[in-house]
Amino acid sequence: MSMEMIRPNPYSDDRVKRKTTVVTGAGGFIGGHLVADLLERGFTDVRAVDVKPRERWFQLHEGVHNVEADLTRRDACMDVLEGAEHVYNLAADMGGMGFIENYKAACMLNVLINTHLLEAAREHGVERFFFSSSACVYNLAKQQDADIAPLREEDAYPAMPEDGYGWEKLFSERMCRHFREDYGVETRVARYHNVYGPLGSYDGGREKAPAALCRKVAEVKLGQSDGILIWGDGNQTRSFMYIDDCVLGTQLIMHSDIREPINLGSDELVTIDELVDIIEGAAGVRVGREYDPTKPRGVNGRNSDNTRILQRLGWEPSIRLDEGIARTYEWIERQVRGAGVETGRDVFTAA
């Protein structure tokens, strides 16, 4: 569904496109796609910020003020938000389940980023501040069954989120609320549900399940492996949102009047085994499967209840999993084939 089909259209006023717009975490997966979309929509003053050296950004765009900065430092946050009007905070030290299970302290330290950015937003009079939260904030007791009822926004309380990463996200949601209530910083919060797509991590330990499984299937297809290892028993369920839906939903929420945290995710529920079936279809191969229940597997079931986003925006993520996986698998297979000769991956650079 195009932006033009949605009412209200946040970009009907060209003044929005001239505002100084800061995207933190811009060298990462979601941030890189968001910057690309803002440029495509005609934004003229975009500031992209990431802690990584620019040669390691997944997307690097000309015509953008690209800044390397460690946003766990308060002074860096004050610097990068000077003159900012709209801020999308996507910055976080994170990865897939293997990362967040084994690096809980690193995940918790992300609270410094959002806290210092909120302080800077208050200091500099930022008009709008978006925080990317996560479905990991939801109460674990509600996610014990693979045949799960979709999670409603109120299911985050009483609080019992994913240890480490989930607690940080839930705490930062509250920080956004209180900076809005106490200081007038107009905050927006979306709870992302399992975002996937091309131009992101697919190896190295930070990749999420769709990218990891696409890589494993590609390795079998290309004769680099005999089969794939699935973490858990393959029966755990998830919904997965394609990056284009995530980027569109993020901007719709940013420019809406939705002040409380809201789900941003697909409600197309599949088992991990069914996800592998879809990847096999995209690759045109069948692969042998082994299972390791000792590996981090997360909750038994998680799905997004989209009642509220449909009520408030008249829109929900709609790109089907088979369509998004086909695009994602094609890019990851190209990486496994060695398309990025020096880095082992494509780095997209746009003029």
The pLDDT tens digits for 72-102 are 999 999 999 999 999 999 999 987 777 878 8
Strand pairing of 269-271 and 237-239?
antiparallel
State how far the Cα of 319 lies from the Cα of 325, in Å rounded to an integer.
Answer: 10
**DSSP conformation letters of 104-127:** HHHHHTTHHHHHHHHHHHHHHT-S
Residue 227 located in a structural domain: yes
What pLDDT does residue 17 have? 94
Given a cut of 70, the residues of the chain with pLDDT beneath it are 1-10, 339-351
Does 106 reside within a domain? yes
Rounded Cα distance, 13 and 26, in Å: 25
Asked if residue 306 is part of any domain, the answer here is yes
- Is residue 349 situated within a structural domain? no
Question: Is 237 part of any domain?
Answer: yes
The shares of helix, strand and coil residues in the chain, as percent rounded to the nearest 5, are 40, 20, 40
Q: Which amino acid is at 305?
A: D
Residue 138 is part of which domain span?
A: 20-339
Specify the number of domains making up the chain.
Answer: 1
* DSSP H or E segment with residue 32: helix 29-40
pLDDT score for 14: 84
Residue 109: inside a domain, yes or no? yes
Determine which one of 88, 165, 192, 242 is catalytic. Answer: 165
The pLDDT score that the predictor gives to residue 8 is: 53
In this predicted structure, what is the pLDDT of residue 25? 98
- Please report the pLDDT score of residue 346 as a whole number: 44
In a domain, 8, yes or no: no
Q: Are 191 and 265 in contact (CB under 8 A)?
A: yes
Task: Give the pTM.
Answer: 0.93
For residue 174, the domain's CATH number is 3.40.50.720
Please indicate whether residue 291 is annotated as part of the active site: no
Neighbours of 83 (CB within 10 A): 12
Please tell me the predicted confidence (pLDDT) of residue 98: 79
Looking up tokens 């499967």 gives 289
Task: Return the amino acid letter for 88.
Answer: Y
Tell me, yes or no, whether 14 lies in a domain.
no
